[in-house]
Amino acid sequence: MKISRRNFLKGSATTLFLAGFNFPVLANTDKKKNLVVIMLRGGMDGLCAVPIIGDKNFEKRRKDLILDKTIKLNSDFALHPKLKNFYNLWQNNLGAIVHATNIPYTKRSHFDGQNLMETGGHIPYSIKTGWLGRGMKLAKLKGDGLALALPMPLLLRGIPSNDNFYPSKKRLPRTELLQLLKSVYTDKSEHDLANMMEIIANRSMMNNGGTSMSRKNSSLAYKAGLELKKINGPRVAVFEVDGFDTHAAQGGVNGSHSDSLIEMDSIFKSLEKGLGSEIENTLVLTLTEFGRTIKQNGGRGTEHGYGSAIFMAGGLLKKSQVYTDWPGLKRKELFEGRDLNSTVDARSVYASAMSSVFDIDFKRIQKEVFWGDELINLSDKLFKS
């Protein structure tokens, strides 16, 4: 391995030192910056998406799942060959990865893990708001959230008036009718309802010349990109991709894990298309509940693991890089002898991202969004200030 743990630690000590000075982060407030989070449900296999190069422990344990024709990212890591759009971004310094990372959850229930990845907490179900919602509240971003899902995801809870979009297969009633309802709501002092109806009546996203709109993430991402691009549009968007729980036939390049990764990749592409030049002022991050075991199981799939990876995209990234404090894959280096370990608390990445995109001091986010948990400010390593 070429990555030395010592170098990493030196880096983080500097960060801590600098953070102590409480630099004002409000460097550039005149441009609108966007944050997009893609939730990868089911446990994304960081080792399938971003395999390590030339590690015998890895190749031995996953004989049937090793990918052909991976794309080399650097001397240590490669990229799943189907992630073509992400690789495009990477080549333009618009794509980066944090590896061997996870939320601090070490049990293996999807159920609890997905709750914690959204709340950012430690005890399942004890927190009723999401870390993103709390961060937005701190940044006073009321009405600036957009979920590309029907129920409002827990991740965005904590700030009211978020918008959501997940096209109905049916057409909306005509505008006069919506206006009538809105005026009735206003007359009856039903302000929340009036407010919602205002959003509905004016929603440009719904107009698709009367044809029914697709619920595919690639199509939702294009729409979301167009909205985020608007100066008065949303500043935060949340997507969900399912299907990462591949206990069987996870397979190689064309396996079932690839299908979900390709869906994630299509979001990158469509967002970029919708955002146009505003991709420069946008940061996209992925989030998952855990990674998967290194060892393949009897059904050529993988079981629930621990450490995974975070994909990042957009012009607010500092540069293309695989940022990691690689723990190694020898047996004693594995978590509980079976999983890639997590050496970076994923919440450090999310807290740093919110600090950079929302222009809020990292320490305030650490304290008010993550209860003062020990997180590291990675802003200057990963993101543009």
Q: Which residues bind other proteins (CB under 8 A)?
A: 64, 109, 111-112, 115, 124-125, 147, 150-152, 154, 160, 162-166, 168-174, 176-178, 180-181, 184-185, 188, 190, 192-193, 196-197, 199-200, 203, 206, 247-249, 251, 254-256, 298-301
Cβ-proximal residues to 150 (8 Å cutoff; 6+ apart), any chain: 164, 166
**Looking at beta carbons only, is 30 or 68 nearer to other proteins?**
68
CB of 203 to other proteins, least distance (A): 7
Cβ-proximal residues to 65 (8 Å cutoff; 6+ apart), any chain: 48, 250, 251, 252, 255, 296, 300, 302
Residue linked to tokens 């070429």: 2
CB of 94 to other proteins, least distance (A): 30
Burial class (CB in 10 A: 0-12, 13-18, 19+), 6: exposed
Q: How far apart are CA 106 and CA 240, in angstroms?
A: 22
CB of 41 to other proteins, least distance (A): 11
**Looking at beta carbons only, is 19 or 146 nearer to other proteins?**
146
**Looking at beta carbons only, is 115 or 286 nearer to other proteins?**
115
**Looking at beta carbons only, is 27 or 180 nearer to other proteins?**
180
CB of 193 to other proteins, least distance (A): 6
Structure tokens at 192: 């929340």
CB of 234 to other proteins, least distance (A): 12
Half-sphere exposure of 164 toward its Cβ, with a 13 Å CA cutoff? 18
CB of 25 to other proteins, least distance (A): 31
Query: Per residue, what are the HEC states of 251-273?
Result: CCCCCHHHHHHHHHHHHHHHHHH
**Helices and strands, counts by H and E, the chain:** 13, 11
Q: How far apart are CA 306 and CA 312, in angstroms?
A: 19
Give yes or no for a contact between 76 and 322, defined as CB atoms under 8 angstroms apart. yes
**Looking at beta carbons only, is 25 or 152 nearer to other proteins?**
152
**Looking at beta carbons only, is 66 or 248 nearer to other proteins?**
248
